[in-house]
Amino acid sequence: MNLIVLGAPGSGKGTQAAKLTKRFGIPAVSTGDIFRANIAKGTALGKEAKGYMDRGELVPDAIVIAIALDRIDEADCRAGFLLDGFPRTTEQADALGAHLAAAGRAIDKVLLMEVPTEELVRRITGRRVCGACGASYHVTDIPPAREGLCDVCGGALQRRDDDAEETVRNRIEVYNENTAPLAAYYEKKNLLARIGTETAGPDAVFAEIVKALGG
């Protein structure tokens, strides 16, 4: 099963990706996580990506495409993968499609997380992420059992550098301009499943996703 989770920043892609990994045993590939790991390690890639990320801009296609395609060629992605945060532009989507086709593979489903814009800002500014294992929380919606500490590993929860309000608004604009058109792109290929997330908490959203996948 090769999946893409598509949605604006704050739409809950990462939360649902973690649930999908747990349920179906397929690795989640997050280009944002790959860049953050490289920033933490101080690599050349991390140094290059950080400026774009802090401004809420996209990292250039050539860089992202090389990183993402290398990752899905790794052994653990052979039986399936889940892309979170890639593709984000038509160029990235074209490159992904061509690369998979050349290997006799294809995308099976694209899950579009639909969330009203006003709700996105509220969610992101309250988001906290475990610095040790990457687990994701929200100060009021998904609070950890002990304040400031990860339920999974006990690590300290942090706010991402690009989750400040001005950067968030720019990221949403960049999404609307560059990434939102991918919904029509995948709809034309009959791959799109729209996941409405207005009423639902994370578990109800996940149930809707499982239904969309035919489970």
Sheet of strand 136-138, all strands in order from the earlier edge strand to the far edge: 136-138, 127-130, 157-158
Selection from Zn ion, ligand ADP, none that 153 binds (CB < 5 to 8 A by kind) is Zn ion
Task: Assess contact for 120 and 11: CB atoms under 8 A.
Answer: yes
Rounded Cα distance, 210 and 215, in Å: 5
Instruction: Please say which residue, 65 or 192, places its beta carbon nearer to ligand ADP.
Output: 65
Provide the 10 A C-beta neighbour count for residue 172: 19
- Give the alpha-carbon dihedral of 56, 22, 117, 57, to 10 degrees: 10
Rounded Cα distance, 123 and 21, in Å: 22
Instruction: Please say which residue, 46 or 80, places its beta carbon nearer to ligand ADP.
Output: 46
Decide if 146 is catalytic.
no
Decide if 88 is catalytic.
yes
Q: Which residues bind Zn ion (CB under 5 A)?
A: 130, 132-133, 135, 150, 152-153, 155
Selection from Zn ion, ligand ADP, none that 82 binds (CB < 5 to 8 A by kind) is none
Closest separation between CB of residue 15 and ligand ADP, Å? 11
Residue 58 lies near ligand ADP (rule: CB under 6 A) = yes
Supply the DSSP symbol for 137: E
Selection from ligand ADP, Zn ion, none that 155 binds (CB < 5 to 8 A by kind) is Zn ion
Rounded Cα distance, 172 and 162, in Å: 12
- Give the alpha-carbon dihedral of 90, 96, 101, 103, to 10 degrees: 170
Half-sphere exposure of 144 (CA within 13 A, CB side): 21
Closest separation between CB of residue 155 and Zn ion, Å? 4
Closest separation between CB of residue 11 and ligand ADP, Å? 8
Residue 67 lies near ligand ADP (rule: CB under 6 A) = no
Instruction: Please say which residue, 3 or 59, places its beta carbon nearer to ligand ADP.
Output: 59
Q: Catalytic residue among 55, 160, 169, 194, which? A: 160
Interaction with ligand ADP in 21-40: which residues (CB under 6 A)? Answer: 30-32, 35
Contacts of residue 204, defined as CB under 8 A and 6 or more positions apart, other chains included, come to none
Closest separation between CB of residue 144 and Zn ion, Å? 9
* 9, 12, 134, 144: which one binds ligand ADP (CB under 6 A): 9
The residues carrying an active-site annotation are 13, 88, 127, 160, 171
